[in-house]
Each structure stands twice: as structure tokens, then as C-alpha cells.
Structure 1
Amino acid sequence: MIDVVTDFTEDAFLGGQLLLKQKRSGHRAGHDAILLAAATEAREGDRVVDLGAGVGTAGLALARRAAGIDLRLVEIDPELAELARANAAANAIAVEVVVLDVTDDAQAFAARGLMPDSADCVLMNPPFNDAARHRGSPNQARHTAHVATEETLHAWVHAARRLLRSSGVLTLIWRADGLADVLTALSRGFGSVAVLPVHGEAGRPAIRVLIRAVKGGRAPLRLLPGLMLNNESGVPRKEVRNILEGRAVLPLAEP
């Protein structure tokens, strides 16, 4: 019997509640996208925009939990956007997929139906590896998905700010050592910032930060207790398994 190797895999997320087709090579969805979805508050009827959606992992995971949202997935790569469409259809989730560069201007967004001040919620997992310290992948799609230029974060936050209505909420994930850059980017137009550090294991520095910010918010910054992904043996903790399998949400998603 001959094994046929395909260019795609079908992977289960949320404990099998979400099945996603994705390319075998290049950027592949993982825990970051599911944590981002679990950190995002959305309710039926909300217009939600997922910037840099890839194959749709974070946005579709959120839609699986929050039925009835008006979901838009924005992705620059036409091939990934087509996979996102197929994944939404395969999981019976209503969605509009838009092929667009997040750094494009307001006119380009509006031409695709993404008007200023129209979204209740934006979530995003921008490229966040520092080009000065990170050796980029020779795979161009993977490089684009992972490596940030100096202006990447500001451009993505600007796009989110433009899309969100007043008091709309931005949720994003970033590398922990870049927290100061995130707070600087959010200082124009956002407030009521809450930060959730994510640690690979107890006793080790945080590897990610999950951040919720409100357009026009005025409440002081909140630093939440850190999320420890693994126990001392390197095994995912029960709390984390519940989140990754769609049985629980993170504090940032709680009203």
C-alpha cells in the first residue's frame, strides 16, 4: 500500500468542534490563534473582524463559541483566504472573507465593505517576530506571517482603530518582550487596557501577552494574573486544556 502525501492537512481544534484544512508547509495555526479566540468577547449580532485571519482559525473558533456574530475574515494571501472560505463552509459557519492587506488605506477597506466605525470587535494576531533578531523563514508565506517590520504593529493597530466603533474592543496577541511597543501603539485612541501574560511554564518568563483594549476607553491599565500553559512536567494544565478544547474562556473574554 502506497501512502499519498498531500500538500494539505485537516486538523482538529476545540476538541474536534472545529476541523480546519491548512497547508502542510508554511505558516500553520496553533495555540496562539485558539488563545486569541478564547480571549475575545463577542455576542450574537456583533460585527467582528479578524485581521490577518490566515485559514480562519481564530475567527472561526470565536464563531463556534459565539453563534450569530457577523464575522469578516481579512487575509492578504489569496490561497489562505480561499482555504478560510472552504473551512467556514465545511464547519457551517457564515462568514465573509476579504482579500486585503491590513496596511491598506481606508478607501481600500471601504471598497470591500469594511467601513470606518463599523465593527464591534476586532481580533488580530499580527506578525510579531523582530526582523532584527529573528531569522526569517525562506518560505515567503511563513516569513510574512511571522516577521514584523518596524511599522507593522502601528499599522495594524491603526487599521483596528479605524474599523472599530466608539467603545469597540480590540483583542490581540503579541510576544511578551514587545509589551512596551504594544502599549505605545495603543496609546493613541485606546484605553481601558487589560494585559494577560502567557507563560510556557511556572517560574519562566512570559512568552506571549494577550491584550484587550477599548476604543476611547478611560479606565486604568489592568495587569491580570499570568496564564501558565504547562505544569512542571511540561504537560498542558487542565485549565489550559479546557480553553484549547473550547470548554472555557480566558478572563479577557468575560464581560
Structure 2
Amino acid sequence: MSETLPDLTEDAFLGGQLRLKQKRSGHRAGHDAILLAAATEARAGDRVVDLGAGVGTAGLALARRVAGINLRLVEIDPELAELARANAAANAIAAEAIVLDVTADAQAFAANRLVPDSADIVMMNPPFNDSTRHRGSPDEARHIAHVATKETLDAWVHAARRILRSNGVLTLIWRADGIAEVLAALSRGFGSLSILPVHGEAERPANRLLVRAIKGGRAPTRLLPGLMLNEESGVPKKEVTDILEGRAALPLSES
């Protein structure tokens, strides 16, 4: 993959600090993945698992910001997993790409050395569009990446809970009108939630939620002041530009 093939593009993220090849059609990485990375706290040596990694955008963006993490990229699509593997190598980031269905059982995870209580941090951007209200794409890969079933969030949270150590951290992004689903899914085994609403436009309801949860946490849930992506004029806010270009992160910790 030293050259960009006709069905691939090479795109710059984090202000050019990260260059990723991805498919020209189907699901393409965007702001959600970068915001998820910016909301994920990590330290050198942390064992980080990116569930549903796609071409590796969120996990690799985190690794670019925090050097020395032990990163594993989990993706169901073999072609995307291969792109994630190649993207990590092209950006000189140490990461392992694993072909695995996030909803697989514990035995399948263990076969890929993702055993219970083995991760410090899990980050995930699951398919979150409501299948009853969202017309899925005819592109199968795009449909799988975008459209959730009733069981999707519970299954993904269950997988994260299983592989996280006690007091390990889960960060996820979900659609804002699904906040009840998020709270219900995280009520089983997680606590100390910090929730950041993300607004695409001024004076409009939030359309995304960034959530940080602690396995076994007991602190009260915190609803943080919302993040507005754009000024009223439609121009991106400077703080958001700084985040998207890798100059700043999103503080979702309890401190």
C-alpha cells in the first residue's frame, strides 16, 4: 500500500500529523473518530483497545497524541483491518490490527489475546443510527458501520466490560437522542459517567454524546457543558479547530 490505489484516498487528520488511507466509497472517517480520540485519556504503557476501529482513525489519533500506548485495533471487516494495519505502519505507530466481530463470545476474544480484565482503556464508535428511523445505505459496509440494531449498544458495552480491568475506562460516542440507551447499557457494571453533549450548530439540540465511564465506578454521573462545533456564522470554533488539528484534547475526567 505504498501507493494510493484508485479505490482508495489518502486523507490528512490532526492537521496533517496523521495520514490515513481509506476506501473512496462506504464508511469514511470524520470528526466523530477524532472527537472520540480527543475525549480519551491515556498514558504511556496503557493497554488500549479500539473496538470497531475501521481504518484505525480514532486509535491512531490517540496514539499520535499519547506516545507509548499499547494499541489494539479491532475490526470486523478484513479489508478495513488491513488498511488499519497499513496505516499504523505508514505513520510509524505501533499497533496490532485484529479481525474480530465485537459481538463475538469470550472464547473468540481470548483467541485473539483479548482476555477478561486485560485492557486499561476501551474506546468505541459503534454503529448508532436507529434502524427504525434511518434508511440504511445500499453499500453493505457503510450500512454495517452506521446502522444499529436494538442489541448493538448492549453487545458492544458488554464486550468492553469483559476486557476492561477493574476501574478501567470506556469512552464512546453515540447519537444524542439515544441518551437513554447509553445510560441503560452502562448501568450494568459501569459508573462515574461524564457525558459531553456535542452540538453541530448554534441554537440547535446536541446531535452527539461523548461519554466516559469507569468499570465499577461509583461517583455520580456528570453532565458537562456542551461542546459547540461551530459559531453562529457556521465557522468552526477555534477550540474545535484546535481539537481536530491535534493541538488540544477534551477533558472528560472527574478531576
Q: Report TM bin, short chain.
A: over 0.9
Q: Secondary structure at the match of 2:10?
A: strand
* Counterpart residue type for residue 196 of structure 1: L
> CA offset at residue 44 of structure 1?
0.3
In structure 1, the residue matched to 2:125 is 125
Equivalences, count? 252
State how far apart, in whole Å, the 2-side matches of 1:253 and 1:16 are: 27
What does 1:23-34 correspond to in 2, within 5 Å?
23-34=23-34
Q: Secondary structure at the match of 1:145?
A: helix
> CA offset at residue 251 of structure 1?
1.5
State how far apart, in whole Å, the 2-side matches of 1:20 and 1:193 are: 32
> CA offset at residue 187 of structure 1?
0.2
State how far apart, in whole Å, the 1-side matches of 2:5 and 2:188 are: 49
Q: Secondary structure at the match of 1:201?
A: coil
> CA offset at residue 235 of structure 1?
1.1
State how far apart, in whole Å, the 2-side matches of 1:67 and 1:154 are: 31
State how far apart, in whole Å, the 1-side matches of 2:66 and 2:247 are: 13
Contact 2:198 2:209 in 1 (8 A): yes
State how far apart, in whole Å, the 2-side matches of 1:132 and 1:222 are: 30
Contact 1:38 1:253 in 2 (8 A): no
Q: Secondary structure at the match of 2:229?
A: strand
The verdict on how the C-alpha distance between 1:120 and 1:184 changes in structure 2, with shifts beyond 3 A counting, is same
In structure 1, the residue matched to 2:111 is 111
State how far apart, in whole Å, the 2-side matches of 1:63 and 1:99 are: 20
1:181 paired to 2:181: yes
State how far apart, in whole Å, the 2-side matches of 1:166 and 1:113 are: 18
1:68 paired to 2:61: no
State how far apart, in whole Å, the 1-side matches of 2:37 and 2:93 are: 15
In structure 2, the residue matched to 1:214 is 214
Task: Report the more deviating stretch, 245-254 or 67-76.
Answer: 245-254
Q: Which runs of 5+ in 1 are unaligned?
A: none
State how far apart, in whole Å, the 2-side matches of 1:80 and 1:48 are: 19
In structure 2, the residue matched to 1:233 is 233
What does 1:1-255 correspond to in 2, within 5 Å?
6-252=6-252
> CA offset at residue 201 of structure 1?
1.9
State how far apart, in whole Å, the 1-side matches of 2:18 and 2:253 are: 19
* Counterpart residue type for residue 18 of structure 2: L
The verdict on how the C-alpha distance between 1:243 and 1:189 changes in structure 2, with shifts beyond 3 A counting, is same
Q: Secondary structure at the match of 1:212?
A: strand
State how far apart, in whole Å, the 2-side matches of 1:30 and 1:38 are: 13
Q: Secondary structure at the match of 1:252?
A: coil
Cα shift readout 1:35-73 (whole Å, capped 9, x = no counterpart): 000000010000000000000000000000010000000
Cα-Cα RMSD: 1.2
> CA offset at residue 202 of structure 1?
2.0
Q: Which runs of 5+ in 2 are unaligned?
A: none
The verdict on how the C-alpha distance between 1:240 and 1:207 changes in structure 2, with shifts beyond 3 A counting, is same
Identity between Structure 1 and Structure 2 (%): 82
Contact 2:194 2:254 in 1 (8 A): no
* Counterpart residue type for residue 32 of structure 1: D
> CA offset at residue 5 of structure 1?
8.3
Contact 2:194 2:253 in 1 (8 A): no
* Counterpart residue type for residue 38 of structure 1: A
State how far apart, in whole Å, the 2-side matches of 1:253 and 1:93 are: 25
Task: Report the more deviating stretch, 198-207 or 22-31.
Answer: 198-207
* Counterpart residue type for residue 105 of structure 1: D
Contact 1:118 1:163 in 2 (8 A): yes
